Amino acid sequence: MDRRTTLAAAGAAMLAPASALADTDAAAFVRPDREMMVPVPGGRAYVRINGDLNAKLPPIVMIHGGPGGSHGAFLPALPLAKDRAVILYDQLDCGLSDKPGDPANWVVPRFVAELEAIRTALGVDRWHVLGHSWGGTVALEYAARQPKELASLVLQGPLISTRAWMEDAATLRAMLPAKVQATLDACEGPYPPARPTCDAAVDAFYARFWRLKPLPAWAQAYEQRHGLKLAANIYNAMWGPNEFRATGTLADYDGEPLLKRITAPTLFLIGDSDEVTAETARRLMAETPGATLKIIADAAHRTQSDQPKAYLAALRDWLAGGDPK
């Protein structure tokens, strides 16, 4: 399944047969212990929880990417609920949340306010926050406010500045076969080839840098059952036609000055074939007081899907360091 197919399908609780649990136990957590629609600015957001919010260890909330993705991206992270509550949610106009379709809602401050509305509704007084890709933008903006509730921050393959993202995209495109590069260039020109030809070239980029391995069957079943799909209206309006062309409202986004304002312990987490390169991640880490970098081998941008065991191990180690002693 390529990125468009994956983001065109995602869904709700469906337990996998025992045979599907051989490679990961995440399927055992696919049913939420609690789910609700939480009022947020502009509508209601779908929120699901595995684990006990009143447990000793602070919960982790995971912010999906896109813009326009869904909580389905974090299914491989659900085994973290063995240790602490895991909060997943869909941003407004995404996934199972309300879909007012109002572009006035598609601004960074509203997405940050949405996160805080969820924390308040759940009565959480301390939590770890992880933002992936565009979700990293929301997490960055939230952390820069220095909220007292923030135990630690994880910026996973984050969009910190569009300029840096585009520079990395150019670097990664140059690593593709010459024929694929030529096709991508032609597709961005005044007389592009046929759509299937361009789609195949874009998919070649995604197959190298977005996700290396297909989703397990149980995760595909979860996605398909609820029909979660990429909210193309948000993605196109805020970002653009694909991962390496920014033509939307985020085209000039630059959150790098915010990094120095972060006071919570911060982990940058990427795959070694991520859309965020190691060079960029090291530079961003250096701009963030006391930050740490973890690079997971044999993983692309969807690190949690490519290397779920290493991903979970890295997060468990990191979160333990920010837990009460």
pLDDT, one tens digit per residue, over 186-243 is 999 999 999 999 999 999 999 999 999 988 888 888 988 988 889 999 999 999 999 9
pLDDT value, residue 145:
97
At 8, the pLDDT band (50, 70, 90 cuts) reads very low
Distance (Å, whole) CA 241 – CA 189:
14
pLDDT value, residue 9:
33
pLDDT value, residue 7:
37
Domain that residue 75 falls in: 3-174+216-321
196 is a domain residue:
no
39 is a domain residue:
yes
* pLDDT of 22 strictly over 80: no
The structure's pTM equals 0.92
* pLDDT of 111 strictly over 50: yes
Residues with a catalytic annotation lie at: 133, 274, 301
pLDDT value, residue 35:
96
pLDDT value, residue 28:
81
* Cβ 275 vs Cβ 285: under 8 Å: no
Extract the tokens encoding 268: 């940058």
Residue % of the chain over a pLDDT of 70: 93
pLDDT value, residue 62:
98
pLDDT value, residue 229:
87
Domain harbouring 44, CATH code: 3.40.50.1820
112 is a domain residue:
yes
159 is a domain residue:
yes
* pLDDT of 11 strictly over 50: no
Mean pLDDT, rounded, for 126-133: 98
pLDDT value, residue 214:
86
134 is a domain residue:
yes
pLDDT, one tens digit per residue, over 258-272 is 999 999 999 999 999
Extract the tokens encoding 104: 């006035």
- Determine the distance from the C-alpha atom of residue 82 to the mean position of all C-alpha atoms in its chain, rounded to a whole number: 21
Mean pLDDT, rounded, for 137-157: 98
Who's near 52: CB < 8 A, 6+ residues apart? 33, 85
Strand segments, DSSP code E, in 51-126 are 60-63, 86-89
CB atoms within 10 A of CB 274: 26
109 is a domain residue:
yes
Mean pLDDT, rounded, for 110-129: 98
* Cβ 248 vs Cβ 238: under 8 Å: yes
Instruction: Kindly give the pairing relationship between strand 43-50 and strand 34-40.
Output: antiparallel
193 is a domain residue:
no
The whole-chain average pLDDT of the chain stands at 91
Extract the tokens encoding 204: 């070649």
Range of weakest confidence among 29-33, 200-204, 245-249: 29-33
Residue with tokens 């809602």: 105
Distance (Å, whole) CA 247 – CA 236:
8
* pLDDT of 16 strictly over 50: no
pLDDT value, residue 18:
31
Residues in the chain: 325
Mean pLDDT, rounded, for 164-190: 97
pLDDT value, residue 269:
98
* pLDDT of 12 strictly over 90: no
208 is a domain residue:
no
Top pLDDT among 323 and 303 is at 303
pLDDT, one tens digit per residue, over 44-93 is 999 999 999 999 999 999 999 999 999 999 999 999 999 999 999 999 99
Mean pLDDT, rounded, for 242-259: 96
Q: How many domains does the chain have?
A: 1
